[in-house]
Structure 1
Amino acid sequence: MTYDAGSGPRAGLLDGGTVRGLPADITLVSLLGDDGEQLADAAATARSRPAEVHPLTGVRLLAPIPRPPSIRDGLCFLDHLRGCYRAIGRTEELHPAWSQTPAFYFGNPAAVIGPHDDVPIAPGSRWFDFELEVGAVIGRGGRDLHPDTAARHIVGYTFFNDWTARDHQLRDMAQGIGMGKSKDSAITLGPALVTADEIEPGFEVAAAVNGREIARGSLSGMDWSWGELLAFLSRGTDLVPGDVIGSGTVPGGCLLEHVDTPDPGAFTGWLAPGDEVVLSSTALGETRQTVHPSASPVPLRTGH
């Protein structure tokens, strides 16, 4: 995990209700790059000889990797896409391309926020949404990975929530070059990095807004496996330690899939200032965040 007890970001071990810190010059990324031995040794050190100890309630949890080298978000649940299509009235079958290779987009590392940080609504957005996803953190880099073995390069997992301005997404889609400002305002990672050896495959995750559960599911329904996704992402390029890879949204795990009117602008469920969004899992812990307004966008030119 990464936390701040008042003197800046620091890596440490979450041990029940206690945070056991490592020396100030150590980051989680600095402990990656091998088969997890450095990370395991650091955890043992934090448990037996911590540099500092704080109650969990006395620290601010940051994103485990506060500024990842890169972020790539996959779309590994095709039922999520089908649900989005239904919500906006599209009835056609998915294009064969969705089953030929995993889809993904590059996220903004500067947009990463912690698991309990307030979330700014994307400037100018009125259709603000969350996404229930899991992020895999690359522990050992590689290139041109094989789908049968690529998942071994994952050191651990954390929640991944790429907050989305659905109205901005309509413009991104019309421009046709991928996700832009619709995915640029905030990406939540946290509350901690749970190492791969601590997690059973197919663990369950859930999302709630203002105490009402919106979705519950597991990774067992992924149409593209982690190994297949990482193998595709690494074709002709390097994955490096600390890269964060999103699973894509668990089916039902966003408000768009629950739009109940032909006009999404008339949907009353979009996030508004003061709304609280919670992602939870017995495997990963919990993120709990409140949405707040942001400044109005400065017009680029008259009428825009």
Structure 2
Amino acid sequence: MRIARWTRQDGTTAEGFVDGDRVLAFPDGSTVAQVLRQGLERAHALYDRTRAEVPGQAERLDAVKLLPPLVPSSIRDFVAFEEHVEGVSAGVEGKSDVAPEWYEAPTFYFTNPHIVHATGDVVPVPESRRLDFELEVAAVVGGVVGSDGVNLDVVAAAAHIFGYTVMNDWSARDLQAREMKVRLGPAKGKDFGTTLGPWIVTADELTDVIDAEGFLAVRAEVYVNGDLVGEDLVSNMGWTFPELVAYAARNSIVVPGDVLGSGTVGNGGCLGELWGRGSGISPLEPGDEVRMVVERVGEIVNVVGERIAAPVIARARPRPRLRRR
């Protein structure tokens, strides 16, 4: 199944299933958020009902504008590809090594769930001169009967993966480089936008491309202005998606609607990695088109928008460090 949200030509919005070259709105007014909470088994029942009741009201997929496939509860973004870490460390931080701590456990940061773009959107960007994309696959968490999403083991975590979507973690590398020197972040180098889409492909649709070790063995590619600049297998991750979900829930909780990005694929999944390997490829500029294609999951396309000026931030002021008044 493929689940999506869209805007019609008359400006109204709908949520439902993508069925071939058609979209079918949920027949009972359900939302993607509700379907995620109810879990995959009930989603299948709703799919069967929708296909039986809605065909006469089906709309052509090419006649609607897709929205982000969900409104995320949160977005965690991991860094699960060793090749990416090695390259981008040199391209952003100036050191071409992988910290030993990377191998000990999957690491993630929380990014902004409130600025999520859809495929086809023009993406406004900050005043960065080292603008970058990051090609990722993201797991979407759904509900599981009898589970609260707390402290999951890997088997339980796998059951919480409702499906997958393509993710572009837009990045301003010059802002990110400054932030990382403060040993906290990334923050403003990342939180101006994330693209998710074009839809959620349910996990059961991809069971035949899960390899013997539990990795999602699909191909991912990224093109800039029509030129292929990066390609990798998602199965080159250091941890499986269930292991990422389990780690996110460790002494914590995952809830339906949470999005967990894989981190950027290797072999040119972002410009930062290519810069770290000595490539002279230019940063993104307004007007550039970025297209990401993930086998069996989908394709997202965005155009880089204009740089948006922001208010000036004052430097830290020297303080006397008084201990009492």
TM-score w.r.t. structure 1 length? 0.91
Q: Quick one: which of 171, 178, 202 aligns to 1:164? A: 171
The answer to whether the Cα contact below 8 Å between 1:32 and 1:38 also exists between their aligned partners in 2 is no
Q: Quick one: which of 255, 270, 273 aligns to 1:254? A: 270
The answer to whether the Cα contact below 8 Å between 2:89 and 2:98 also exists between their aligned partners in 1 is no
Matched with 2:186 is 179
Q: Could you tell me which amino acid in structure 1 is paired with residue 152 of structure 2?
A: L
State the secondary structure of the residue aligned to 1:76. coil
Matched with 1:124 is 127
The answer to whether the Cα contact below 8 Å between 1:76 and 1:248 also exists between their aligned partners in 2 is yes
The answer to whether the Cα contact below 8 Å between 2:89 and 2:97 also exists between their aligned partners in 1 is no
Distance apart, 1:260 and its partner CA = 6.9
Q: How many equivalent residue pairs?
A: 298
For the pair 1:87 / 2:91, whether they are aligned, the reply is: yes
Matched with 2:249 is 234
Matched with 1:107 is 111
Matched with 1:218 is 233
Deviation larger for 16-25 or 137-146 = 16-25
Distance apart, 1:33 and its partner CA = 2.9
Matched with 1:32 is 36
**Please, which runs of 5 or more residues in structure 2 have no aligned partner?**
211-216, 317-325
The answer to whether the Cα contact below 8 Å between 1:10 and 1:26 also exists between their aligned partners in 2 is no
CA distance in 2, matches of 1:297, 1:177: 22
Q: How does 1:1-304 map to 2 (within 5 A)?
A: 1-5=4-8, 6-23=10-27, 25-50=29-54, 52-65=57-70, 67-87=71-91, 90=94, 93-121=97-125, 123-140=126-143, 142-199=149-206, 200-201=209-210, 202-251=217-266, 252-259=268-275, 269-301=282-314
Deviation larger for 91-100 or 272-281 = 91-100
CA distance in 2, matches of 1:110, 1:234: 22
Deviation larger for 19-28 or 152-161 = 19-28
State the secondary structure of the residue aligned to 1:207. strand
CA distance in 1, matches of 2:276, 2:102: 25
CA distance in 1, matches of 2:119, 2:243: 28
Deviation larger for 188-197 or 38-47 = 38-47
The answer to whether the Cα contact below 8 Å between 2:87 and 2:276 also exists between their aligned partners in 1 is no
Distance apart, 1:107 and its partner CA = 1.1
The answer to whether the Cα contact below 8 Å between 2:24 and 2:59 also exists between their aligned partners in 1 is yes
CA distance in 2, matches of 1:260, 1:269: 13
Q: Could you tell me which amino acid in structure 2 is paired with residue 12 of structure 1?
A: G
Distance apart, 1:175 and its partner CA = 2.1
The answer to whether the Cα contact below 8 Å between 1:10 and 1:24 also exists between their aligned partners in 2 is no
Q: Could you tell me which amino acid in structure 2 is paired with residue 190 of structure 1?
A: G
Deviation digits for residues 209-249 of structure 1 (CA, Å, limit 9, x no counterpart): 00100111122111022122111110122100111000011
Q: Could you tell me which amino acid in structure 1 is paired with residue 224 of structure 2?
A: V
Distance apart, 1:112 and its partner CA = 0.7
Distance apart, 1:261 and its partner CA = 8.6
CA distance in 2, matches of 1:114, 1:148: 31
- Higher Cα radius of gyration: 2
- Alpha carbons of structure 1 residues 91 and 270: separation in structure 2 relative to 1, 3 Å: closer
Distance apart, 1:136 and its partner CA = 0.3
